A and B are shown apart, each in its own frame.
Chain A
Amino acid sequence: MDNVKKALAEIVGEDHVSAEPEELYIYSYDLGTTEPHRPDYAVAPRTTEEVQGIVKLANKEKIPVVPLGGGLSLAGLAVPLRGGIALDLKRMDTIIEVNEKARYALVECGVSQAQMCSYLERYHPTLTHSEPGAPGPATIGGNVAIHGQGDLAQPYGFSSDMINGLEIVLPTGEVCRFGSCSISAGWFTLHPLPDLGLFLGWSGTTGIITKVSLRLFPCKRIRGTGQFVVEDEELVPEVMHKLTHTQMAEDIIAYSQAIPPFTSGLHHITINIGGDSEEELEFKQKLLWDDTLGEYIRRGDGGFLGFRRGLDRPVVAKTSDWRKGGGFEYVGAIMPVDTYPECYRRGREISERHDIPYTVLGRCIGMSHAMMFSWTYAFNRADPESIRQAREALHESDDLALELGGTLWKPGLYGQKLVMERMDSNTLELMKKVKQLLDPNGIMNPGNWEVA
């Protein structure tokens, strides 16, 4: 056993460190189109102290550390570009506390989204968190590390806007707490200082998130989804704007896709609402369907496809099987809502050029302050040409998002480069200084967000 592996085993136990080709193979791959890069070790710590020990060792040995949650970014953000330690954080999966009155949950970073939902449904049914569209194994820590969004993004914003406190292992091994938890036992607010804003959305390049205090929100007794459809994509921004004005919706998503063919070209708008009573639900439905969307129906511009009670957990993994190929990847961009029509048209062109059935989706963030717009490309994992086509389509979508005035969410290396090329030079310099200050040995997820 080499010395590093031996030292890692002393920290996490022999069962939870590997330098075997099988683990190195698995952790070299992202699920999207990113080329694999092998780590030298795969390690699965259980505690913050173990993470701390690993990071200190990595500093001593000058070995990269690549933190990994569910490994579902699809953009290759946890691919060990320069080898080192693939740090699988999913063993850190304890829900430490749910404070009903203050509406927050203190969790370890590796708690999965589905685990969180299930726990709240069972033990705190009046509370919910913003569940992302990612598969259920995606982790809470991973989602905030990439500025994710979930099904409460419309009223409350990004998942990283829903944080009440953080515990971070710094790239040099110190443990820091941010928010009220740094001065008391309460994890009820992140602001004001010591909220330094240095870790959320940085994809693990500035430290490792080990604990998260996550804001919870009222969970209405009855929840469900209404479906509205329009043929003219130009109407979508206006519809979204009007819907958000009601302040009645929990989640608003517009999407269009080539499969099934009879819906191709249509724009479905799903609207999640909830009510604690039939009266509340009826009132919201009237306000949304009759008062807000009624004019489109009367004009023949849109149709109401019905309301279904109960929220289905998203099963986005099914997208991977559209071409019976086991793969898909998407570009997610944060865009002004009024760019929806252009995003759709140009995205569809990209898909058709690469012979991939088109799928586009825009999720409202905030009160139409922005939307997360995604261009999704399924590919066949067994066909290198199909992977190449998808990769090209993804790059063209990255270019398109920036051309249309948007910014990229959790971009892969190609998109990171585009963003940094356009970034204000002083901001870029500050990013560089922050990273150098926090991570003097450059061990944290190197290759990502590297300022030249």
Chain B
Amino acid sequence: MALAEYKYKDILHRCFRCGYCKFPTNWIDVNNCPAYARFRMESYSCGGRLWLTRAWLNGEIDWTDHLAQIMYSCTACKNCEEKCPLRFNVDIVDMIRATKSEMVERGLIPSVVKEFLENIQRQGNPYGKARAKRGEWIGGTGIPQYEGQEFLYYVGCVGSYDTRAQETARTLGKVLIKAGLPFGVLGSEENCDGNEVNTLGEETLFEMLAEENIQKFRDLGVTKIVTLSPHSYNTMKNDYPRFDGSFEVRHYTQLLRDLITQGKLNFSGGLNARVTYHDPCFLGRWNGEYDTPRQILNSIPGIELIEMEKNKTGALCCGGGGGNFYTDFLAGSESSPARIRAREAYATGASILAVACPNCMTMLEDAVKAEGLEGELAVKDISEIVAEVCGLA
């Protein structure tokens, strides 16, 4: 594809590369673009990616594996859109996604991205693990299979396969059972939601996944979905309607907040701890949900919620978005965004780093270990904290 055929050909050149896209809301550093934070070269900033896209499509530079890595190091966290002062800012992440799509079309993607996508195509998950094993996380928890209950509890790939995230998935299931919520899961029948496939620019595979999921949900009579992952929440809420898949989709924190408010979840105790909360990009910047997770934490007796300096619209991404929890382009350094975020959390004096996303959980827990903060800073999902005070842990 030449520049003339690029979807954003009329605005691509409008990036001045002033660098605002690197800042958090409070301007305290220039590290809020995860890829730029990791490498600190202009090429890895949002503006760098836009200029390189134009240079590539113009024929000023050739495609290289390095160029592809620069593009795929974007986690789609939307910090750039939040901070860019220019009028085209709402399209920035999609401009990068369009570049990735072009690389997909031409078969010019990094091998690890190819592997990620092929695994999803073959097994419905990025890890390449057997589809049949997708429901193994349930174990003997008694979490029911979906059979027309009011809610479908959609777990997602990370919650289904990652060992640590599986614990979170089970814990949330137990909490929902305790609240008396009529729900069920798909287990081995569940398929990838496609959010990461979409951000990686594989449009055809994404459409296929979305359409298959929508058809399955329709066949099963699903009307309400509660998701473990903000990534699933995002795509089912915002992308599936494009394929006539309109369901009532909620992230689990939104449901838990209501269950607590309605008195359906009673705390048997409190938690005397200083807690800081990390905003997941796909809940926060993508969907504007900043308050609900905080309301849950503030409702728990004994918790002192301390904000990190960079929070809400200015939160630093854990570095796991855009498939990077698997492709890992940002790993291997103390400048890896997850490690920076772990240090920021530790600096608050909190003993618990609360998360609301299985991707963030895995990224930040690894980072806490890499920083040698095990025993000083525990990474816990909000569902796990709620389970603890409900006497389920």
Contact = CB atoms under 8 A, between A and B. Distances in A.
Interface in B1-40: 11, 13-20, 22-23, 26-30, 39-40
A90 B19 CA distance: 12
A136 B41 contact: no
A272 B230 CA distance: 45
A135 B48 contact: no
A317 B86 CA distance: 8
Interface in A131-169: 135-137
B58 to A, nearest CB: 9
A315 B85 contact: yes
Among A23, A25, A26, A112, max chain B CB count under 10 A is at A26
A248 B15 CA distance: 39
Contacts of B64: 20-22
B61 interface: yes
A23 B16 contact: no
Nearest to B87: A321
Q: In terms of DSSP, what is the predominant structure of the interface of chain A? A: mixed
A445 interface: no
Given A21-B62, A23-B43, A90 B86 contact: no
B67 interface: yes
Interface in B252-270: none
A313 B85 CA distance: 12
Contacts of A29: 51
A387 B23 CA distance: 29
B28 A115 contact: yes
A316 B28 CA distance: 19
A112 B83 CA distance: 16
Contacts of B62: 21
A31 B16 contact: yes
B51 A26 contact: yes
A265 interface: no
A62 interface: no
Given A16-B40, A26-B52, A381 B13 contact: yes
Nearest to A381: B13
Nearest to A36: B60
A20 B23 contact: no
Interface residues of A, number: 46
Nearest to A137: B19
B236 interface: no
Nearest to B84: A317
B223 to A, nearest CB: 44
Nearest to A114: B27
B42 interface: yes
A326 interface: yes
A22 B43 contact: yes
A282 B17 CA distance: 41
A20 B86 contact: no
Contacts of A31: 16-18
Contact of A22 (B13, B28, B52, B335): B52
A42 interface: yes
A119 to B, nearest CB: 7
Given A90-B30, A114-B27, A115-B30, A317 B20 contact: yes
A398 interface: no
Contact of B40 (A44, A71, A118): A44
B319 to A, nearest CB: 15
A135 B52 contact: no
B30 A320 contact: no
A136 B26 CA distance: 12
A221 interface: no
Which 4 A/B pairs are nearest by Cβ-Cβ distance? A137-B19, A317-B18, A320-B16, A118-B27
